[in-house]
Amino acid sequence: MSVHRIMGLETEYGISAPADPHANPVILSSQVVNAYGITVMPDRPKRLKWDYDVESPLRDARGFDMSRSDADPSQLTDDDYGLANLVLFNGARFYVDHAHPEYSSPEVTNPRDAALWDVAGDRIMEHSAAIASKLTGQLITAYKNNTDGKGVSYGTHENYQVDRATAFTSLVRYLTPFFVTRCVFAGAGRVGRGQEGLFPGFQISQRADFFEAEVGLETTLRRPIINTRDEPHADPSKYRRLHVIIGDANMSQRATYLKMGVTSLVLSMIEDNFLDFDLTLFDPVSAMHQVSHDYNFEKVLGLQSGKTITALEIQHMYIEKALEYVATKGIHDEMTLDVLGHWSRQISALGSNKMSLISEVDWITKLAVLEGYRHRDHSQWDDPRLAAVDIQFSDLRGDKGLARVMQSKGRMETMFTDLEVSNAVKHPPADTRAYFRGMCMRTFTNEIAAASWDSVIFDLDPELPLTRIATVDARKGTKSLTEQFFKPGCSAQDLVSAVESQ
Amino acid sequence: MSERESIQRQPQRQDQESDEVGVVTNKAAQTFDVSDLLDEIDTVLEENAEEFVKSFVQKGGQ
């Protein structure tokens, strides 16, 4: 009944070798992931596998399995053996997905930790690109964004553990208007409109133009506002893992925190059957595009009821319900009230003085810089310098990335100290199964054959079969439950014997 | 780090632009001086913007 729930973020990064525009991105991606592995985890098992047995990307939440022959090849993500794959000491997965390096954060229990382990991923990505650049002798750069502006998009996906008892139809009904308008506080800004960027101008969201369906299983084409993938990585009778693909990659730490926190709060209200309004949009996909393009908040959206409403009014209605929710349920949780306070303040500011959010909302920071250049240089929206600002905003290098530079100069707010971030790079959260996974990887590196979200597989003896330790419950495997297994003097065999005897 | 100035102005016409270099207004009551920020960004921005943008090509992801 708050912003707390099991959650996590997966980010596909843009990757580039500026001196070699035709470099193969699959190879570049493998190079950066492997470079990190070689340098930071030199003792890791050389062919660490991901335990794919329990993954089923073709299972649809609406209750059927898509047959493999009907699927587009890009959906068969569990067949990509041989690509670089690391399970990190902080419990994250760092690997190659399609033609991008991807960081899948460790599971966390709250939006602040989600944002912290997300920033850790950015540092890991930055560091990997730097090491790979040295090792290959060519500069490799990485970007936390979602499009190349020429027709291609890649994702920043959120995952939320939701009660299985909540009807999927409720999720669709109450999440759609929220997701269609969420970019007003969570968007990262984009120069260019249309999937290929053929139309000059600015828009709030990197991803919006790439969405073409209301509900669906696909993630690489016909992208849906509500994704129905049903791989819970948990007890399927109790939990669903809601997989959200509409979000932009955020450089603002506050934006990541609020994106995750507000969505979690909205999910709580849906789980508790607290929402009763009818905000069903007449055409959610068109509405999503319009909201993104309408960065001066001048347009209205049509509801199926025939009424019209603005994007900010839709967000206001969710905020009013959330205020009622915390009052009615007597919620005093500090983080929940903090998330609600910021969300409410930002939506109000968007309606009256949006540029005042320059230091905390990515698209407004980006717009301020772009408008600054437009005024100073008298440029039009199709000036390549503006597109360069857009791309370089998300460059992960501390000395070259525009957002990173603005953060170091105090022009963009941050939530975490360098020390907190470097701890999150090295250590897992203490309160989920990521702790067990990360500590196994650090402590018993050479004895792990494979790992996944819900298992760690030990190879204790070449003469004997592998031992699979299941980690089905994301709230177990915590520090308080398992830290005794990682003390000096404890062996992997001790751990396995203790777990097997339970 | 330079101070940001908050100047209350009369509400402006839609999309009215300021004549002052580096000052951003957009139907807002406040102005934000980004001119020093632009100077900083100028020093790190990729030099050949057109080349840089043209060569930034990605493959589709999820």
Model ipTM?
A: 0.88
Burial of A502 (0-12, 13-18, 19+ CB in 10 A): exposed
Measure the CA–CA gap between A455 and B58, rounded to whole angstroms.
33
Please report, rounded to a whole number, the percentage of residues in chain A having pLDDT higher than 90: 86
Helical (H) or strand (E) element with A308 = strand A308-309
Question: What pLDDT score does A53 carry?
Answer: 62
Contact A235, A63 (CB under 8 A): no
Please report, rounded to a whole number, the percentage of residues in chain B having pLDDT higher than 90: 34
Exposure on the CB side of residue A134, measured as CA atoms within 13 A: 10
What average pLDDT does range A81-107 have in this prediction?
A: 91
B57: nearest CA partner in chain A: A148
CB contact under 8 A, B60 and A373: no
CB contact under 8 A, A98 and B49: no
pLDDT tops 60 at residue B18: no
What average pLDDT does range A205-215 have in this prediction?
A: 98
Chain A CB within 8 Å of residue B7 CB: no
Is pLDDT larger for residue A274 or for residue A501?
A274
Question: What pLDDT score does A367 carry?
Answer: 97
Nearest to A432 by CA among A368, A484, A482: A482
Using a CB-CB distance cutoff of 8 angstroms, which residues of chain A are in contact with residue B62?
12, 97-98, 154-155, 157, 219-220, 245
Question: What pLDDT score does A411 carry?
Answer: 93
- Rg value, chain A, Cα: 22
Beta carbons within 8 Å of A2's beta carbon, 6+ residues apart = A264, A265, A268, A331, A333, A335, A336
CB contact under 8 A, A376 and B38: yes
Pure H helices in A378-429: 384-393, 402-408, 418-426
What average pLDDT does range B27-49 have in this prediction?
A: 77
What average pLDDT does range A264-292 have in this prediction?
A: 98
Q: At what angle do helices A253-271 and A111-136 cross, to 10 degrees?
A: 140
Chain A CB within 8 Å of residue B44 CB: yes
Tell me: the pLDDT tens digits for A312-334?
999 999 999 999 999 999 999 99
Beta carbons within 8 Å of A245's beta carbon, 6+ residues apart = A155, A157, A207, A219, A223, A224, A227, B62
pLDDT tops 70 at residue A82: no
Question: What pLDDT score does B33 carry?
Answer: 72
Using a CB-CB distance cutoff of 8 angstroms, which residues of chain A are in contact with residue B52?
18, 384, 388, 391-392
Helical (H) or strand (E) element with A28 = helix A25-40
Using a CB-CB distance cutoff of 8 angstroms, which residues of chain A are in contact with residue B30?
353, 355-356
Lowest mean pLDDT among A178-187, A490-499, B34-43: B34-43
Measure the CA–CA gap between A136 and A99, rounded to whole angstroms.
18
Distances (CA, A) of A160 to A10, A35, A233, A474, B13: 12, 31, 11, 12, 43
Structure tokens at A181: 């308008």
Using a CB-CB distance cutoff of 8 angstroms, which residues of chain A are in contact with residue B38?
369, 372-373, 376
CB contact under 8 A, A100 and B27: no
* Plot region of A306 (φ>0 → left; ψ -120 to 50 → alpha; else → beta): left
Lowest mean pLDDT among A23-27, A92-96, A284-288, A419-423: A23-27
Question: What pLDDT score does A101 carry?
Answer: 97
Distances (CA, A) of A210 to A149, A174, A246: 11, 21, 9
Structure tokens at A37: 């592995």
What average pLDDT does range A179-200 have in this prediction?
A: 98
Cβ within 8 Å of A, B 17-36? 17-18, 20-30, 32, 34-35
**Mean pLDDT value across chain A:** 93
Measure the CA–CA gap between A450 and A452, rounded to whole angstroms.
7
Lowest mean pLDDT among A185-194, A372-381, B18-27: B18-27
Burial of A292 (0-12, 13-18, 19+ CB in 10 A): buried
CB contact under 8 A, B22 and A376: yes
Pure H helices in B1-62: 35-44, 49-55
Measure the CA–CA gap between A212 and A207, rounded to whole angstroms.
11
pLDDT tops 60 at residue A492: yes
First-to-last CA distance in chain B?
A: 39
Tell me: the pLDDT tens digits for A17-52?
999 988 999 999 999 999 999 888 887 766 667 776
For the beta carbon of residue A296, count every other beta carbon within 10 angstroms: 12
Given the structure tokens 């919006």, which residue do they identify?
A208
pTM, entire model: 0.90
Catalytically active residues of A, by annotation: 97
B1: nearest CA partner in chain A: A409
CB contact under 8 A, A369 and B30: no
pLDDT band at A255 (very low <50, low <70, confident <90, very high): very high
Chain A CB within 8 Å of residue B55 CB: yes
Structure tokens at A331: 């919620």
Exposure on the CB side of residue A347, measured as CA atoms within 13 A: 23
Tell me: the pLDDT tens digits for A470-484?
999 999 999 999 999
pLDDT band at A493 (very low <50, low <70, confident <90, very high): very high
Question: What pLDDT score does B27 carry?
Answer: 41
pLDDT band at B30 (very low <50, low <70, confident <90, very high): very low
Measure the CA–CA gap between B35 and A373, rounded to whole angstroms.
9
Question: What pLDDT score does B22 carry?
Answer: 42
- Rg value, chain B, Cα: 17
Contact A1, A152 (CB under 8 A): no
Question: What pLDDT score does A64 carry?
Answer: 58
What average pLDDT does range B32-45 have in this prediction?
A: 86
Candidates B15, B34, B40; nearest CB to A409: B40
How far does the CA of residue A469 sit from the closest CA of chain B (Å)? Answer: 30
CB contact under 8 A, A372 and B15: no
Tell me: the pLDDT tens digits for A415-471?
999 999 999 999 999 999 999 999 999 999 989 999 999 999 999 988 889 999 999
Question: What pLDDT score does A231 carry?
Answer: 92
Using a CB-CB distance cutoff of 8 angstroms, which residues of chain B are in contact with residue A355?
24-26, 28, 30, 32
Go through A179-193 and write b for each residue having 16 or more CB atoms within 10 A of its CB, e for each that does not.
bbbbbbbbbbbbbbb
Using a CB-CB distance cutoff of 8 angstroms, which residues of chain B are in contact with residue A15?
58
CB contact under 8 A, A369 and B15: no
Measure the CA–CA gap between B54 and A157, rounded to whole angstroms.
27
Contact B45, A381 (CB under 8 A): no
What average pLDDT does range A140-164 have in this prediction?
A: 97
pLDDT tops 50 at residue A374: yes
User: Helices H, strands E: what count in chain A?
Assistant: 15, 20
What average pLDDT does range B9-31 have in this prediction?
A: 40
Lowest mean pLDDT among A21-25, A82-86, A411-415: A82-86
Dihedral sign (CA A437, A441, A446, A451): positive
